[in-house]
Structure 1
């Protein structure tokens, strides 16, 4: 695997479904980042940070919705029979 391949994969993951992302581990033996790929690597890091902020905001929104739903009183129907055998 080359650095260009690695950056291709990271960029593709940013465009795809985050639910399908796997934990990332740097490939062994890749060596130092070539100078001509530094700007691209920085752009990937910025895009990942932006996506992380976006996901945090979405999570906060979902938590707010769940909190609102939790405040709705639950109506439980009255039992229509009493089970004496069970």
Structure 2
């Protein structure tokens, strides 16, 4: 595969990373056919893309954890139908 084709592959990775961390819908990834070896001239860019993917995965894992924590807190609050008296929700923690 030519350097231009590899550049397009890396462009796609960068676009998907930006979409993922901005909350967009990332299309299903399809591996390129007959990609061949990465040209040495693009090795540093590929490393940066790999680092960006790892950073994005860490960000998304943190967001997922935070959302789960918030959902668990919401689930812990009894619904109005279970309690005959008013409830106070401490939003300041």
Whose radius of gyration is greater, 1 or 2? Answer: 1
Partner residue in 2 for 1:71: 76
- Three-state SS of the structure 1 residue aligned to 2:79 is coil
Partner residue in 1 for 2:86: none
* Superposition misfits of 4+ residues, deviation over 3 angstroms: none
- 2:9 matches 1:12: no
Q: 1:50 and 1:18 mapped to 2: Cα distance? A: 15
Q: 1:20 and 1:70 mapped to 2: Cα distance? A: 27
Q: 2:23 and 2:80 mapped to 1: Cα distance? A: 37
Q: 1:18 and 1:39 mapped to 2: Cα distance? A: 27
- 2:43 matches 1:42: no
How many pairs does the alignment contain? 77
List alignment gaps of at least 5 residues for structure 2. Answer: 83-93
- TM-score, normalized by length of structure 2? 0.74
- TM-score, normalized by length of structure 1? 0.80
Q: CA deviation at 1:14?
A: 1.5
